[in-house]
Chain A
Amino acid sequence: MRERRAARESRRAREFEAFVAGAGGRLLHAATLLTGEPTGNAQDDTEAAQALLTVALARTYARWDRLRGEDPYDRTRQELAALYAHRARRYRRPRGGLLDRLTPRERLVLVLRLYEGVAEEQTAATLGLPVERVRAICTRAVTLMRTAPPRAPGAPPVAGHPAGAAR
């Protein structure tokens, strides 16, 4: 019994390590886009994104034996999205990242839809929103990304940003 458990644990640890080695970079990039930390230089600090990703990966690890054919990457992405949505308030302050000009929810929709290529319906289900809302948020985020200038660090959200509607 004990030996079987030990064997299972070592197999899980091996598989998990291989998974993180393969998918970790992309997941960390997604997390960094969400937290709004800069990614341009190698020495850029992505501490918040690392913390977010570590918890999401830990939850995937805890579920590893019960994934039943589910893609661990999809699972981790879902955990990441749920965790980020739960902690969204922490990431409102601009940190010099690419998506600084967007609200946390707009970032999440943009990253899921465009960076990760998740279908509209699945994004809506993940966020608990109607599909039309997701489409509207995505369109708005795309427009903002193409037009609005980046927010200065420490500045309040752009005037005219419907803070109430955006949450």
Chain B
Amino acid sequence: MSFPDRKEDQVRRMLEGPHPVLPPDLAGRAAGRGQRMLRRRRAARTVGWAVLLAAVVAFTVWAAVVHPWAGPPADTTPPLEGW
């Protein structure tokens, strides 16, 4: 074993001290918090899809009513010659 490894092992043993006591309710608190995160995320996703859907519907209705692809009616008619 090389020299730096021995030093590292010494520090590693220092780090392996007594474990602190895990509070019994920590898992429950973390789960509750995680559950709230999930619910918030789900709500945000639902709102996002709803907004997207509303935008698509609004655009479709507007396009169906206005026909924006049709050119404006010609204001001037070309002169008729040789008739």
Interaction A to B: yes
Tally the A-B contacts, defined by beta carbons under 8 Å. Answer: 103
Residues A29 and B31 in contact, CB atoms below 8 Å apart: no
| Residue from the list B4, B16, B26 in contact with A20, Cβ < 8 A | B26
Question: B39 to nearest A CB, angstroms?
Answer: 10
Chain B residue, CB-CB nearest to A17 = B27
Residues A59 and B37 in contact, CB atoms below 8 Å apart: yes
Residues A16 and B31 in contact, CB atoms below 8 Å apart: yes
Q: Classify the interface of chain B: helix, strand, loop or mixed.
A: helix
Binding site for B on A (CB under 8 A): 9, 13, 16-17, 20-21, 24-26, 28-29, 32-33, 37, 39-40, 42, 44, 46, 49-50, 53-55, 57-62, 64, 98, 110-111, 114-115, 139, 141-143, 145-146
In the complex, given contacts A33-B15, A142-B4, what are 17 additional A-B residue pairs having Cβ atoms less than 8 angstroms apart? A17-B28, A20-B22, A25-B22, A28-B19, A28-B26, A53-B26, A55-B33, A57-B30, A58-B33, A59-B37, A61-B31, A61-B37, A110-B11, A111-B15, A114-B11, A139-B4, A145-B14
